[in-house]
Amino acid sequence: MPESKPAATKPPSCVIADPKALPARTGSGYPPRYAEPCLKRVKRALGNAVGLKNFGVNITELPPGTWSSQRHWHTRQDEFIYVVDGEITLVTDEGEFLLTPGMSAGFPAGSKNAHHLINRSAKPASYLEVGDRTPGDEAFYPEADLWAQPESRTKFTRRNGESY
Whether 76 maps to a domain, the answer reads: yes
What local confidence, expressed as pLDDT, does residue 1 receive? 60
Greatest pairwise CA separation for the chain in angstroms: 69
Q: State pLDDT tens for residues 29-43.
A: 899 999 999 999 999
Whether 75 maps to a domain, the answer reads: yes
Number of domains in the chain: 1
Whether 28 maps to a domain, the answer reads: no
Whether 126 maps to a domain, the answer reads: yes
Phi, psi of 106 (to 5 degrees): -125, 145
What local confidence, expressed as pLDDT, does residue 153 receive? 58
Whether 34 maps to a domain, the answer reads: no
Whether 22 maps to a domain, the answer reads: no
Whether 108 maps to a domain, the answer reads: yes
Q: Residue 152: give its domain's CATH number.
A: 2.60.120.10
- Residue-range definition of the domain harbouring residue 84: 41-157
DSSP 13: T
Whether 120 maps to a domain, the answer reads: yes
SS3 33: helix
Q: State pLDDT tens for residues 71-99.
A: 999 999 999 999 999 999 999 999 999 99
Q: State pLDDT tens for residues 53-64.
A: 999 999 999 999
The rounded mean pLDDT for the chain is 91
- The answer on pLDDT for 3 being more than 80 is no
